[in-house]
């Protein structure tokens, strides 16, 4: 909420409280005046009830500058006071019951120029003539108390308003400081995130340059290997030797396809996606790493159902994703005291995707290391055993396939859990 709006609401609340308090004060004042008016009316009733003792009763009732009694005699005009003076009062002449007099009218009757209340009663004398008696009492004392009460009300409202404004100002000042701190924190966070993105971009650029250089350097000896293998193939008469040469040619073709895929990613090109059987891609990756697991004496188990949907992927690149995850898990088990087990499970996810999950019971990974695992050149392996590029490349491949990669320690604290989610191909979404 804006400061001006908040101040406006505070002032509106103060004004509303002031109006309600003033209205209640006026209502209470009117009720008390009505009660006060009953006193002169009761005195007028008492005087009219005993006309034979009227003069004595008038002297007993009257109080200087507070209560006066007037009598309207038959056949005369005006009101006769106890001192014999005759006064005219339009408010009292011809009236009956309780009458409220204004300040000028009260002053004309010899009372303080303040509000006055009168009680007017008519009665018959012994000779049958009709007289009228009026008892007029000033409300000066009551009105003075009322005025003091109003001033107390004003003082209370002013004090309350001052407290509201003071605490409101303090709250707004605190809020402004908090907003400034939040803004500074947000700016600092954005700056840090920007710096991290720049560092990451620099590392990715370095990784791209490195991949380009490696591809260039590897292409020449790879061409030599292909050429020699093609020369040897026609000369092989033994089936076993022929299959070995064919395997060399297949793997060199695979290496060439993977390198070209890496180069495309490094240049920012979109991968060539095709609809592939998820189960077939997973089994191919397992076949590519089986020999490494046998050499490390690490057990590899799989759970790959046959009824899995298709995924849109570049088969060579995504197979490399699974290969990297499986080999990392194998290395983690190989570094353990006793060689362990790696498990690959493939499932259809609940969010319209296919989940490839690799779990191991190796040395494990900390939560902090899991968050940084996909940063280029970050590795937890001993020096000389890792470049820190495997998971970085894996993560980039997964992103280009519109998927996600998550790494975290296993719930039981033994080993690591790596999971890749890839969208189901469009025609298999049903």
How far apart CA 369 and CA 373 sit, in angstroms, is 6
Segments making up each domain of the chain, as ranges: 3-138, 273-428
What's the mean per-residue pLDDT of the chain?
80
How far apart CA 304 and CA 357 sit, in angstroms, is 11
Which residues are registered as beta bridge partners of 300? 342
Torsion region of 312: left, alpha or beta (phi above 0 gives left; psi -120 to 50 gives alpha): beta
How far apart CA 17 and CA 25 sit, in angstroms, is 12
Intrachain domains 3-138 and 273-428 with the same fold: no
What DSSP letter does each residue of 96-115 carry, written as one string? -EEEEE-HHHHHHTTS-SS-
Decide: 322 and 281 in contact? Cβ < 8 Å: yes
- What does DSSP assign to residue 81? E
pLDDT score recorded for residue 386:
59
Count Cα neighbours of 409 within 13 Å in the Cβ-side half-sphere.
Answer: 11
- What does DSSP assign to residue 63? B
Decide: 418 and 328 in contact? Cβ < 8 Å: yes
Q: Please state, in angstroms and as integers, the Cα–Cα distance from residue 175 to each residue in 3, 70, 112, 401, following that order.
A: 10, 69, 56, 45
How far apart CA 210 and CA 214 sit, in angstroms, is 6
Q: How confident is the model at residue 430 (pLDDT cuts 50, 70, 90)?
A: very low
pTM for this one? 0.47
Adjacency order of strands within the sheet including 353-360: 299-303, 341-348, 353-360, 416-423, 404-409
- What is the per-residue pLDDT across 38-48, written as a single tens digit (0 to 9) for each? 888 888 888 88
Q: How confident is the model at residue 322 (pLDDT cuts 50, 70, 90)?
A: very high
CA dihedral (286, 291, 292, 296) in degrees, to 10, reads 120
Nearest to 363 by CA among 388, 389, 334, 383: 334
**CB neighbour list of residue 205: distance below 8 Å, 6 or more residues apart:** none
Q: How confident is the model at residue 343 (pLDDT cuts 50, 70, 90)?
A: very high
**Average of per-residue pLDDT across 74-88:** 80
- pLDDT of residue 194 exceeding 60, the answer is yes
Residue 5 CB coordination number (10 Å): 9
Nearest to 66 by CA among 137, 142, 114: 137
- What is the per-residue pLDDT across 230-270, written as a single tens digit (0 to 9) for each? 777 787 777 888 888 777 877 777 777 667 766 666 666 66
Q: What are phi and psi of 380, to 5 degrees?
A: -105, 0
- pLDDT of residue 22 exceeding 60, the answer is yes
How far apart CA 258 and CA 265 sit, in angstroms, is 11
How far apart CA 1 and CA 346 sit, in angstroms, is 51
- What does DSSP assign to residue 272? -
Structure tokens at 331: 């290395």
Structure tokens at 209: 């340059």
How far apart CA 259 and CA 265 sit, in angstroms, is 10
- What is the per-residue pLDDT across 105-117, written as a single tens digit (0 to 9) for each? 888 888 888 888 8
CATH number of 3-138: 3.30.450
CATH number of 273-428: 3.30.565.10
Q: Please state, in angstroms and as integers, the Cα–Cα distance from residue 388 to each residue in 203, 304, 400, following that order.
A: 11, 29, 20
């Amino acid at each position: 909420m804006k400061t001006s709006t908040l101040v406006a609401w505070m002032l509106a609340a103060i004004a509303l409280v002031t109006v309600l308090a003033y209205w209640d004060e006026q209502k209470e004042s009117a009720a008390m005046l009505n009660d006060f008016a009953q006193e002169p009316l009761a005195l007028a009733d008492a005087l009219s009830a005993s006309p034979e003792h009227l003069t004595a009763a008038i002297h007993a009732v009257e109080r200087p500058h507070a209560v006066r009694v007037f009598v309207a005699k038959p056949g005369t005009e005006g009101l006769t006071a106890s001192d014999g003076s005759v006064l005219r009062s339009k408010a009292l002449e011809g009236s009956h019951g309780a009458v409220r007099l204004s300040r000028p009218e009260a002053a004309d009757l010899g009372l303080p120029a303040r509000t006055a209340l009168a009680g007017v009663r008519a009665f018959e004398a012994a000779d049958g003539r009709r007289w009228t008696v009026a008892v007029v009492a000033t409300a000066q004392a009551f009105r003075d108390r009322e005025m003091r009460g109003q001033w107390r009300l004003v003082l209370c409202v002013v004090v309350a308003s001052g407290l509201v404004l003071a605490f409101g100002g303090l709250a707004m000042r605190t809020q402004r400081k908090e907003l400034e701190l939040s803004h500074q924190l947000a700016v600092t966070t954005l700056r840090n995130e920007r710096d991290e993105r720049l560092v990451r971009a620099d590392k990715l650029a370095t990784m791209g340059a490195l991949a380009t250089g490696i591809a260039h350097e590897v292409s020449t000896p790879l061409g030599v290997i292909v050429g020699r293998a093609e020369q040897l193939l026609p000369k092989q008469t033994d089936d076993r030797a022929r299959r070995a040469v064919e395997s060399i040619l297949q793997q060199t073709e695979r290496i060439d396809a993977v390198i070209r895929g890496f180069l495309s990613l490094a240049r920012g090109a979109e991968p060539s996606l095709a609809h592939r059987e998820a189960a077939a891609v997973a089994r191919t990756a397992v076949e590519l790493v089986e020999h490494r697991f046998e050499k490390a004496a690490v057990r590899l188990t799989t759970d790959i159902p046959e009824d899995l949907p298709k995924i849109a992927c570049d088969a060579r690149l995504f197979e490399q994703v699974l290969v990297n995850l499986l080999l990392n898990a194998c290395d983690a088990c190989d570094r353990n005291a006793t060689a362990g087990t790696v498990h690959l499970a493939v499932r259809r996810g609940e969010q319209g995707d296919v989940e490839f999950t690799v779990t191991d019971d190796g040395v494990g990974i900390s939560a902090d290391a899991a968050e940084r695992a996909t940063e280029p050149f970050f590795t937890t392996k001993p020096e000389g055993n890792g470049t820190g590029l495997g998971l970085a490349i894996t993560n980039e491949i997964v992103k280009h396939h519109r998927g996600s990669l998550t790494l975290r320690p296993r719930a039981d604290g033994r080993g690591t859990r790596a999971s890749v989610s890839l969208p189901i191909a469009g025609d298999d979404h049903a």
